[in-house]
Structure formats: structure tokens, C-alpha cells
Amino acid sequence: MDIHRCVSCGANLVGTNYVVFPCPVCGEMIYRCKRCRKLANPYKCENCGFVGP
């Protein structure tokens, strides 16, 4: 079982309490917890450095 971390806060992501989407620049999958998404915390793609809201 793969365990992913939120790219914004570093929380372990388990169950369905997170979202996954491709980076708009490079397509790398980005994992975010629902809390950070709701608060619009910034995230940074670890592959290309893209920063999003």
C-alpha cells in the first residue's frame, strides 16, 4: 500500500480525505489533503517547481 503525503502540509494521506490531480505544467501527480485545499494553501510541484493556489 502506497502512503502519500500532502505537498502543502506534509500530512499522511489515507482513505478518501485527500485529492489527487496532475500538475498543470509537467503532469506529475500532486496530492493534497482536503484541509489544505479548502484553505487554499499554496502547493509546489516537486518535479518542476510550479506553485499553485
Whose cell is 484553505? That residue is: 39
Kind of pairing between the strands at 12-13 and 4-5: antiparallel
Mean pLDDT of 38-50: 96
Q: Provide the whole-model pTM.
A: 0.86
Range of the domain at 48: 4-52
Segment 1-34, tens digit of pLDDT: 678 999 999 999 988 889 999 999 999 999 999 9
Beta-strand ranges (E) seen in 1-53 are 4-5, 12-13, 18-22, 29-33, 43-44, 51-52
Total domains, the chain = 1
* Distance set, CA 39 to CA 1, 3, 21, 50 (Å): 28, 23, 17, 19
Mean pLDDT of 26-53: 95
